[in-house]
Amino acid sequence: MVLLEMSIVPLGQGESVSQYVAQCVDIVDRSGLDYELHAMGTIVEGELSEVLAVMQQCIEEVARSANRVTCTAKLDYRQGVAGGLRSKVASVEQKLGRPARR
């Protein structure tokens, strides 16, 4: 399984990009993959081909409104492990001895 953290930004579209984030979150949500939205990006969990396809769809959707799009992505590819989206946080919280603020 793969965890993909991505942040996709249209250039030249002003300071607020929440409408583009909403478009991307809709694509991710419709993919059926598990995901979490946070203040600086979105984390998606699935097979490598699935998460890369979703990222490509998001980039192409944002590019319909902007001539230039930047994407920052980070991948965690770990064979034989699923549920990392929640288990990684749970592991840190266990070591911390309390819930982390979310």
CA–CA dist 64, 96 (Å, integer): 44
CB-CB neighbours of 51 under 10 Å: 26
To the nearest whole number, what is the mean pLDDT of the chain? 92
Task: Kindly report the CATH class assigned to 2-96.
Answer: alpha beta
Check pLDDT > 90 for residue 77. Answer: yes
Tell me the pTM: 0.87
Question: Under 8 Å CB-to-CB from 69, ≥6 apart: which residues?
Answer: 8, 9, 10, 11, 59, 62, 63
Q: How confident is the model at residue 90 (pLDDT cuts 50, 70, 90)?
A: confident
Q: Compute the average pLDDT of residues 4-18.
A: 93
10 Å CB burial of residue 29 (0-12, 13-18, 19+) is exposed
Say what the pLDDT of residue 88 is.
Answer: 81
H helices of 1-102, where? Answer: 18-31, 48-63, 84-96
Check pLDDT > 80 for residue 81. Answer: no
Q: How confident is the model at residue 58 (pLDDT cuts 50, 70, 90)?
A: very high
